[in-house]
Amino acid sequence: MKRNVWPDKGAFKNHVLGWAIRLGVRVRSLTVRPMTRKWASCSTSGTLSFNSELLEIDRKVADYVIVHELLHFSVPNHGKLWKSLMRAYLGNYEKAEEWLRDHGARQAHAASPPSALSPRKTSR
Ligand SMILES: [Zn+2]
């Protein structure tokens, strides 16, 4: 995959917020920091954290992680609806999933189930 690195954290955050607007998600707080075992996490309070390593990987893979997390604000699982939304926004997202698997990240986010998330948006 071709590398396409963001110049800095600010540019990456702007990109995330652009996706949030597109997906109709209200992000209360957005953090980019080093994380050891996962690419991203989201909390019930609307806090999103992304691994700063995402700035160094392919944009398509980073987009996968971003959209994956943002969709959990309205879809708290990886079911049929989540999959069809992933497909609608990212196309062939399985390629990014494969890349992440090959690079040691089995999960996009924390092992704790995102089902505790309170949906901020119901129109989808
Ligand atoms: Zn997930």
CA of 60 to the centre of ligand 1 (A): 17
Let me know if residue 80 belongs to a domain: yes
Report the distance separating Cα 66 and Cα 43, nearest Å: 14
Let me know if residue 111 belongs to a domain: no
Question: Are the C-beta atoms of 69 and 42 separated by less than 8 Å?
Answer: yes
Let me know if residue 99 belongs to a domain: yes
CA of 9 to the centre of ligand 1 (A): 23
Q: What's 62's domain CATH number?
A: 3.30.2010.10
CA of 110 to the centre of ligand 1 (A): 8
**Helix/strand/coil for 49:** strand
CA of 116 to the centre of ligand 1 (A): 12
Let me know if residue 2 belongs to a domain: no
- Predicted confidence (pLDDT) per residue in 24-76, tens digit: 998 999 999 998 878 898 876 778 999 998 998 889 999 999 999 999 988 88
Q: What pLDDT was estimated at residue 107?
A: 58
Let me know if residue 123 belongs to a domain: no
Domain range for residue 42?
A: 9-106
Asked if the model's pLDDT at residue 7 lies above 90, the reply is no
CA of 40 to the centre of ligand 1 (A): 9
Let me know if residue 1 belongs to a domain: no
Let me know if residue 117 belongs to a domain: no
Let me know if residue 60 belongs to a domain: yes
- Predicted confidence (pLDDT) per residue in 86-117, tens digit: 999 999 999 998 888 887 655 566 544 443 33
Burial of residue 77 (number of CB atoms within 10 Å: 0-12, 13-18, 19+): middle
Query: Does the reported pTM lie above 0.85?
Result: no
Tally the domains of the chain: 1
* Secondary element (H or E) of residue 47: strand 47-51
